[in-house]
Amino acid sequence: HVQLVESGGGLVQVGGSLRLSCVASVDTIGRYCMGWSRQAPGREREGVAAPDQEGRTNYADFVKGRFTISRDNNTNILYLQMDRLIPEDTGVYYCAADMRPSMLPPLVRAYSVWGQGTQVTVS
């Protein structure tokens, strides 16, 4: 049973940067589809970044050019580098994983495992 633990959130000024980490308690995350989502206050959770099955990275329009997703299959960590943060980026950020591929686009697909989330506040 895989568990995901996010960290790296915090309070940052507009224009600043944060790097989120998601540690997965599995033998290797290489077998999992993984992605980052966020939930802003009063809004539904939305996909932020995730690779597709061909390995191409998909980013939501509102983070393109500012966020970078990466993964280290040796240490089982998924990262989200967030640069040029704006107040609209405030929210709880979640990583998610699923062993099963999906026909849905990576940013809207369902995942079976979610982390507890890490709060990001930009002011």
pLDDT tens for 73-112 read: 899 999 999 999 999 999 999 999 998 888 888 898 999 9
Q: Please give the Cα distance from 24 to 56 (Å, whole number).
A: 21
Q: pLDDT tens for residues 37-74?
A: 999 999 999 999 998 777 789 999 999 999 999 999 89
57: left (phi over 0), alpha (psi -120 to 50) or beta: beta
